[in-house]
Amino acid sequence: MATYIEKVVWTLLKTSFTKNSFCYLLISLITMILRTHIDALLASIFLTQYYILNFIVRNTISCFLVINSKYLYDVVVRYKPEIYNLVRYLINNYTPKNFKRWKRKVNLTICGYLYFITFYVEINNASIRQTIIEYILCYTIIELYDNYMKGEIKIFNSKEYECNNSNDDNIIEELIKRNESEIVVDNDMIELKND
């Protein structure tokens, strides 16, 4: 039974739809990694001795990069054929032996990269707490921005007028009652009411 299920899974994995889906997933992952590195580089360039100023600058850079990550995605998507070939190679050549070899190489590369980063950046509990707070603030700002762009948040609420009667005289009177201090009644309004 397990071999039949494995055959079905491998048949589905080898479809071009699945390969394309993995390709776009990998493109998104590369975009996120690239954005994180640009964020860290720009934050280190604008580093000052003032904690509050650093906090504001890092959050501004992070929010700006997240909002404009579409442009980074457009740069990465130019390499879609190469990324698709990598995904196709990984799926077509998957075996338990190859997986162990790839896992070793990826783990060694990531560990080596993180090891060398620790020479440049000092990581302690305070920096981890600061990063978490910056992430929460940036995430909140981006959520508010997205909701504002979708129209779910309105900064300037316009007044909506509801009238119970469909009679024009009652509509005008109700508008005048609601906004006596705001509406200036002119001759045109009086003529409308008299008609």
Residue closest to 76 by CA, chosen among 31, 33, 26: 31
Q: Are residues 59 and 124 in the same domain?
A: yes
Q: CA 195 to CA 37: how far, in whole Å? A: 69
Q: CA 138 to CA 63: how far, in whole Å? A: 6
Number of domains composing the chain: 2
Q: Are residues 163 and 146 in the same domain?
A: no
Q: Are residues 69 and 146 in the same domain?
A: yes
Q: Are residues 141 and 178 in the same domain?
A: no
Q: Are residues 23 and 75 in the same domain?
A: yes
pTM of the model: 0.68
pLDDT (tens digit per residue) in 180-195 = 645 454 555 455 444 4
Q: Are residues 125 and 38 in the same domain?
A: yes
SS3 179: coil
Q: Are residues 127 and 179 in the same domain?
A: no
Q: Are residues 32 and 74 in the same domain?
A: yes
pLDDT at 83: 94
